[in-house]
Structure 1
């Protein structure tokens, strides 16, 4: 007699930083995986996905967030659908409404329509971001604890235009549109809102989060500006390791009672705390690099930086579902992130 049939999952945007790590974990957990990319013939972008086929049954499908129906084959027969793919115009866009906000909402609903057509998907897991939770005016110097009931204030965001403001708007509107669609069509939906996600992935190219997390060591001014933007608009630097995020994705897919939004944040820190830790843990980057010494001096004298978080994102709801974070300190998070940065050439040595 044959064994029990494998559970099948679809992961959208499979060659991306988060998605490829999720594909790897699902295969290791015994899933059959179907994933989507815009161009399956692009060997440079998909080589790491091809290597993951050695871990288990992995099919790669062509699909585009802008093309309704293009996800039909990928989700057909799946038990779970993980919506990870998103437009990549995070920082710069000439027309954020058309290039970031509308495509984000439209793309997620396209995948969810395919889930309705397929009729087999038991749970949709949507990966959003903590930026949908905490970009809002807050009085006082600190002590704010935000949970899943908190939403970024879109009137404030569109008026003040903090860094990556269109990304923030897109995530809020995407979540609310997905919730409405799920309710109207009887889809079981959970949403994950991760903090700054760092850690090693099968992906060989990364944008935004990992370069930002390593910017104090790399000296990348643009990436450091991203990190500063996160702290100034969030009121902290909320961090989660990629491995923990993927574990949370799988847990919430498999937990029947799970519902609604879940913040996924291992801990809340500041740029100064990160800089001091890195200078102590990785002095080789500091001792041989005068520019790095100057950068640390500038950081320590930057009046715009926080000594302690003004805001703390709470993952209590996720923990109540039985989840336990494995990466709870800067040391644990940065150990494999630094090695990953070396492998990708973000760090020089």
Structure 2
């Protein structure tokens, strides 16, 4: 979450030691912002978010609040057929997820509850609130902790079976493998703060939709030295059945820098080597 002040070009970034936040802070400093951040990672809980919003109300100088949620709050729902085009009006099914309690069910549930609580609070207190919902976020960032989805996205190259199971879980839950580069996420956060006239509301931030099978074929051709196995995916999707288009954000004038597998993995392979996920 980032809040921008009117006069002093000040930004507050919560979770300052996190993956996305580490790059956002770097970008803000390069643009001349004064950046205030926590020294601890605030848990993505409803109460923590509301505490930040209460502080914004108390300060009385906050121009806009940007809440970073996830497309997990959009796409985690029963999916049938291949006509499940999702948009900002789509919500993950909390009752369904809470009843099934399989996989990472608590994560999308927490994001839905967080978003709705924040939206209600902002409306009641007259706060300008934009919620960005990035998809699976990848790419190089200043943060060097390996606790993101980066290892899962690199699992086809690394051969890590546990991380490959995570990737398969993402595809099953989302109806695709939706990817967005962390740089594009941070640029979108800056965009909705700095561009005049961007309305409050919810915005999907997704660079492209792919599948494990499609990605494996691409990687096998692009990086033959990794001996990518393309014969593991009989039960996977041949094509995305639930695309997550960023039409609303693009219509405001935002442009993605990374929207092909080549652009994303050119950056990811070097980052994977830096993190020790891939051999040098």
Question: TM-score band (shorter)?
Answer: over 0.9
What is aligned with 1:323? 254
Give the match's secondary structure for 1:328: coil
Q: Residues 49-106 of structure 1: CA distance to partner in whole angstroms, max 9, x if unpaired?
A: xxxxxxxxxxxxxxx64xxxxxxxxxxxxxxxxxxxx44xxxxxxxxxxxxxxxx111
Query: Does residue 239 of the first structure (1) align with residue 239 of the second (2)?
Result: no
Instruction: Return the alpha-carbon distance in structure 2 between the equivalents of residues 6 and 331 of structure 1.
Output: 40
Runs ≥4 residues deviating over 3 A: none
Instruction: Return the alpha-carbon distance in structure 2 between the equivalents of residues 161 and 236 of structure 1.
Output: 21
Could you tell me which of 142, 147, 150 is aligned with 1:202?
A: 142
Gaps of at least 5 residues in structure 2 are 1-6
CA drift at 1:344: 0.9
Query: Does residue 252 of the first structure (1) align with residue 183 of the second (2)?
Result: no
Q: Residues 8-59 of structure 1: CA distance to partner in whole angstroms, max 9, x if unpaired?
A: 1011111111000100111122211111122xxxxxxxxxxxxxxxxxxxxx
Is the CA contact (8 Å cut-off) linking 2:19 and 2:148 kept in structure 1?
A: no
Q: Residues 183-239 of structure 1: CA distance to partner in whole angstroms, max 9, x if unpaired?
A: 111111000101111110000113131111111111222221111111001100111
Equivalent pairs, count? 273
- Give the alignment of 1:110-125 within 5 angstroms: 110-125=51-66
Instruction: Return the alpha-carbon distance in structure 2 between the equivalents of residues 318 and 206 of structure 1.
Output: 29
What is aligned with 2:110? 170
What is aligned with 1:36? 38
Could you tell me which of 122, 128, 131 is aligned with 2:69?
A: 128
Instruction: Return the alpha-carbon distance in structure 2 between the equivalents of residues 324 and 206 of structure 1.
Output: 28
Give the match's secondary structure for 2:38: strand
Gaps of at least 5 residues in structure 1 are 39-63, 66-85, 88-103, 287-291
What is aligned with 1:73? none
Instruction: Return the alpha-carbon distance in structure 1 between the equivalents of residues 88 and 259 of structure 2.
Output: 20
Give the match's secondary structure for 1:262: strand
What is aligned with 1:313? 244
Q: Structure 2 length as normaliser, TM-score? A: 0.93
Is the CA contact (8 Å cut-off) linking 2:140 and 2:267 kept in structure 1?
A: yes
Q: Residues 249-308 of structure 1: CA distance to partner in whole angstroms, max 9, x if unpaired?
A: 11111234321100000111001111111111111111xxxxx54xx43x23x32x0010
Give the RMSD, CA atoms, in angstroms: 1.4
CA drift at 1:335: 0.9
Instruction: Return the alpha-carbon distance in structure 1 between the equivalents of residues 102 and 188 of structure 2.
Output: 29
Give the match's secondary structure for 2:272: helix
> Larger RCO: Structure 1 or Structure 2 (Cα < 8 Å, ≥ 6 residues apart)?
2
Could you tell me which of 183, 187, 195 is aligned with 2:123?
A: 183
